[in-house]
Structures are given as C-alpha cells and as structure tokens.
Amino acid sequence: MQPMGIRAACVAAAATSVAIIAIVGATSSNLASAGESPMRVALQSDQSTPLAKMKADYRRPATIPFPKDNPYSVEKASLGKKLFFDTRLSAANILSCGSCHSPAYGWGDGQPTGVGHGMKKLGRRSPTIVNAAFGQIFMWDGRAGSLEEQALGPIRADVEMNLPVDQLIEKLKGIDGYRPLFQAVFPAQGIAPETIAKAIATYERTVVSNRAPFDAWIEGDETAISQEAARGFVLFNTKARCVDCHSGWNFTDDSFHDIGLASTDIGRAKIVPGIEKMKFAFKTPGLREISLRGPYMHDGSVPTLQAVMDHYNRGGIDRPSRSAQIKPLSLSKQESADLVAFMKTLNSDLAPTSAPLLPR
Amino acid sequence: MKPFTLVLLLAFAAGSATAYAAQVSISQKGKVFSQTELAVKKGDVVMFVNDDAVTHNVMSTSSGNTFNLGAQAPGVSLPFTFNNAGETVITCAIHPTMKLKVTVAN
C-alpha cells in the first residue's frame, strides 16, 4: 500500500466529529420518492440516519493498493511515467499511452472513440485511467485481469500503437538512456515485456483523483456542495438507482451490464460467450472527474451528462440482455438536473501533470 | 423383470451413488459468495444458490475444473461437481469482483 499523497492530496483521516446530515421531511421509507419536489437538506446529529449510512459507503480509501508482485517504488513509477508518455512506444513514433489517456482530458482523450495507428478511428472510447489502481478488471469488456496484463495490449495492437513486443524491446534497448533506468529498477531482468508492463502499471496506479467537494461534504462540510447536488446524491442512491452499479468511493462495481444502448458491439459476450446478459454489456465506469470525461458510454455516443440522464430515464432498448437494473425511471427535469449537479461535485482539483523528460 | 421394479432399482442405485459425495451449498448474495474459500473432496458437489435480485454466473478457467454454468437467474440453484484435485478459482463473469477459491482434495 502506498499513501495517496504520491499524486493526490493526502486523504485526511476520518473526521472525529463528522456532522451528520439527514433529509428534512424524508424518512427511510420515503427516500425512494425524495426529489419529486425539491427537498431541503439540513444538519442533524443522528448518525443512524439513512443519508448518513449512504455517505458511509463513499469514503475515500487512505492508501493506494499495489500488488505484492509489483510493489511501488519512486524509481519504478518515474520509469513508468517516461514510458507512458513516450511516443516511441508506437510504430509510427507519434502515439503514446498518454495520447489516448491524457491528463488534459481527465486521463481520456475527449473523443467519442479512440484514434489509433494511421489516424484510424477505433471502435470504443478511450477509458480514463484515473483510479485504475482500485480496479479489479480492465478494458471495456474485461479482457485484462490486471494493469500489468493490460499495459502491453494497446502497444502491440495493430490498430492502436502497432508495435509488436519484440520490436518494442529492440527499440527500447536502442535508447541509451533507458538502459540504466531499467537496470536500477529491475536489475535481474532489465528491458523486458514484463518489466515494461510493471513500470507502466505502477505509474498508472499513482493517477488517483484528488479530494473533491463531495469528499468534503460526506466528511461534514455542509457548504461543500449545493442543495441541488445534495438532492442529487439522495436520488443517486434511491429513485434513480445509479448506486446499483456505480457503487463505492470510485462509483463503480467493476461489473458488466447492458444498459440498452443501440450498438452492434456485443462487448463482454465476445470474451465470455454463452451468457445472454453479457451481450452488449460493458464495464461500469467510475464517476470521479466525470464531467471532464465526455462524451460518454463505451462508444462515446452520448455527448453530455444531461443526455446520459435522459438515456437512463428512458431505460434504453428493452431486450433480453438488458440489465434488470435498467428500466424507465420517471425522473423529473429537476431530478435529472439534481443528479447532474451531484456528479459535478465529483471533480477534484487536479494538479497539472508535467511532461517527463524522455531518455535519449 | 417388471418395468416398475426396474425403475425402483435404478432409483436406488442412483441414490447410492450420490450418497458417497458430499454436497455443499454456496450462496450468492450482495454480489459476494457466502465464503471466500472452500475445501472439498474430489467428486463433491457444490450447489450455487443465487440469493440476489440480479442475474449471476458461476465460472472458472482454472485447469482441471474449467466450467461455466451460464446465466443464473435470481432464485436459481446450480450444481457443479469437482472431479479434479487442485485449486480452482471461481468467479462471476458479470460481477468479477465475486471470487471463491475452492481447494479440491483427492
């Protein structure tokens, strides 16, 4: 485990006297309908209130998890950052991991779908790497079980960076400046596919969202978010049922769902055939920094957060594979607006990321 | 032999065969298995019971006990017989954070 202060601001220890909030006029039995008329949120001292319990599920972890077989070191993360931003990891020398996972766009690329080798458009949107350290399965269809497993995939994919692994090794060995860096971090292996993957994965794990207004709010700062956003949080957990999939501090269950989008891409069903519910199913994305990461969905087909809410409100295409959690929500315009306001409180004050000096 | 007697004998034989294998039940609730680790013997049957409100799946790609029980609707129970010794990691293809390690002894 590594303190989150590597990139992100250190997470404050749990406040000792957290002001607990309850919904005025709403009880546990009527929370599901809360938001139909704008409700007021006020301070209460009872820690057993439904809202307080909801908040408890979203507390930030204090440390970043690193796997036992690839522990963190400053030198390894530094090497990984150089590799991540080095365009020489592509056949054409113009694409790096950072081209599609750019800090300028919330660690995505701001495009509906990625752009790969030869400027060819890819089939799916570039997912963010923010908080990937906390992920348990990777890629939109879950075909990678770890960041180490994922790291080399786009480099060697002919439609992405198009650099076969043997050529990648040869190329890096030909750059004098990389050799001592690899020798220092991986003295027994040097430049190898496994060490490249481990270094990139280690750097990626340091990309963690900073504290957001939402974090301050659940820790007791009542002024941190608006009343509109506070109502949106309650809706998120009740009537809108977003929490069924967007759960936990990073707002994802790391699971796969068909949310009823029109698409010919069958998603996870290609990886795990024979399960109806996996047709058109894609991994639930986390929601941290979400308003910086549009357009939305696996194919970038939904331009704004308001349009996302419109989709979920309609319930998408009713088909056998559609998740049982997806159904029309009957949200009012105000409720949809409240939910969008809430999601915007998940943006942190991301510090600028400096470009590394690359070995020559 | 009369058909009725034959049916009774076959039923008895089937009952005798299964009597030697233990059956363990694992619940899926709240998107977790009721246990994270399980020890069984070769030939034992594990019954997976979906006590959740969502569809689940039970599968493993571990060598020796590779299987996929397909979609498992809420309320449905599905059995799997572990016929090979070794360690088997089981997950749900829909909710891969669900994990169960089954150690199968000879």
Which of A205, A221, A248 corresponds to the end of one domain? A205
Q: What is the pTM of this model?
A: 0.84
The confidence score (pLDDT) of residue B36 equals 96
CB B97 to CB A136 under 8 A? yes
Instruction: Examine the domain organization and report whether A200 and A227 are in the same domain.
Output: no
Q: Identify the three-state secondary structure at position A332.
A: coil
Could A277 and B94 be called an inter-chain contact, meaning their C-beta atoms sit closer than 8 Å?
Answer: yes
Write the pLDDT tens digit of every residue in B30-53: 999 999 999 999 999 999 999 998
Question: Per the CB < 8 Å rule, is A278 touching B59?
Answer: no
Spatial contact of A346 and A233, defined as CB atoms under 8 Å apart:
no
DSSP state for residue B52 in the 8-state scheme: S
Domain's final residue, options A205, A226, A244: A205
Q: Considering only alpha carbons, which residue of chain A is nearest residue B94?
A: A256
pLDDT of the residue at A49: 79
Residues A236 and A337 in one domain: yes
**Domain encompassing residue A175:** 74-205
B53, B54, B93 ranked by CB distance to A272: nearest: B93
Q: What is the mean pLDDT of residues A174-187?
A: 98
A99/A183 same-domain check: yes
The identity of residue A13, as a single letter, is A
Do residues A173 and A303 touch, judged by C-beta distance below 8 A?
no
Closest CA to A80 of A133, A117, A156: A133
In chain A, what's the furthest Cα-to-Cα distance? 69
A276:B95 CB<8 A: no
Contacts of B54 in chain A (CB under 8 A): 323-325
Helix, strand, coil tally for chain A in percent (to 5): 35, 10, 55
Are A182 and A285 within one domain?
no
pLDDT tens, B3-35?
444 444 444 444 444 445 678 999 999 999 999
Rounded to an integer, the average pLDDT of A26-32 is: 31
Closest by Cβ to A275, choosing from B31, B70, B96: B70
User: A247 and A192, same structural domain?
Assistant: no
Instruction: Identify the closest residue of chain A to B70 by CA–CA distance.
Output: A275
Residue A284's CATH number: 1.10.760.10
Q: Retrieve residue A258's tokens.
A: 């068909």
Based on the fold, state whether residues A107 and A195 are members of the same structural domain. Answer: yes
**Mutate which of B60, B62, B66, B94 to disrupt the A interface (most A C-beta within 10 Å)?**
B94
Which pairing describes strands A41-44 and A20-23: parallel, antiparallel, or unpaired?
Answer: antiparallel
Do residues A89 and A176 share a domain? yes
> Would A132 be classed as within a structural domain?
yes
Interface A–B counts its CB contacts (< 8 A) at 47
Of A205, A228, A245, the residue at which a domain comes to its end is A205
- A180 & A155 share domain: yes
A272 to chain B nearest CA, in Å? 7
Chain-chain contact of B96 with A254 (C-beta, under 8 angstroms): yes
Are the beta carbons of B97 and A254 separated by less than 8 Å? yes
In sequence order, the 6+-apart residues with CB closer than 8 A to the CB of A170 are none
ipTM of the complex: 0.77
Torsion of CA A232, A234, A235, A241, to 10 degrees: 130
Q: Is the pLDDT at A68 greater than 60, yes or no?
A: yes
Q: Which of residues 72-91 of B touch A (CB under 8 A)?
A: none
**Chain A residues touching residue B30 (CB < 8 angstroms):** none
- Per the model's pLDDT, the better-predicted residue between A40 and A15 turns out to be A40
Is the domain of A265 the same as that of A289?
yes
A331 with A219, same domain: the answer is yes
